[in-house]
């Protein structure tokens, strides 16, 4: 039987990571946690910049860290936004980047805390994904 994904602990990793966000401008901390096939978790935070457009979201920070360490396959992602009072979903740019490395069935969990977290899939957040034929990956 397939091992059930521990969404609670994946979310907990995202929340713990959010404390390391660099968000002096928005004061909106975000932590993302990617689950790898072997159970390892790779995390990322939002990193802002005084040239605002250069801000990198937590989801993309996590993906870029994982890919930089040689990982390209992900089983699930959790995103924690402790400074919101409702579940804030990954932005459009991050959905596009997640779709580069995740199948539409990949679970996505996001929320200000685990109790209020939304459980969905990348395919629900990013329908009509296309152009995977452009690269042989």
Contact residues for ligand THU, defined by CB under 6 A: 23, 26, 28, 30, 46, 48, 55, 57-59, 79, 88, 90-91, 94
Rounded to a whole number of angstroms, the minimum distance from the CB of residue 29 to ligand THU is 8
Rounded to a whole number of angstroms, the minimum distance from the CB of residue 134 to ligand THU is 25
Catalytic residue among 37, 59, 100, 105: 59
37 has catalytic annotation = no
Query: What sign does the dihedral 76-80-86-90 (CA atoms) show?
Result: negative
Q: How far apart are CA 32 and CA 59, in angstroms?
A: 5
Cβ-proximal residues to 130 (8 Å cutoff; 6+ apart), any chain: none
Rounded to a whole number of angstroms, the minimum distance from the CB of residue 24 to ligand THU is 10
Q: How far apart are CA 125 and CA 93, in angstroms?
A: 12
Catalytic residues: 59
């Amino acid at each position: 039987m397939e091992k059930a994904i521990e969404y609670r602990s994946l979310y907990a990793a995202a929340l713990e990571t959010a404390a390391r966000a660099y968000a002096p401008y928005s004061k909106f901390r975000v932590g993302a946690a990617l689950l790898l096939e072997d159970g390892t978790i790779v995390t990322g935070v939002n990193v802002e910049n005084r040239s605002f457009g250069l801000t990198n979201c937590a989801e993309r920070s996590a993906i870029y860290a994982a890919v930089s360490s040689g990982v390209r396959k992900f089983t699930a992602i959790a995103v924690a936004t402790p400074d919101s009072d409702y579940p804030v979903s990954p932005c459009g740019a991050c959905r596009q980047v997640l779709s580069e490395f995740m199948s539409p069935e990949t679970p996505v969990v996001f929320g200000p805390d685990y109790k209020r977290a939304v459980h969905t899939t990348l395919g629900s957040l990013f329908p009509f994904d296309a152009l995977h034929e452009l690269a042989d990956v």
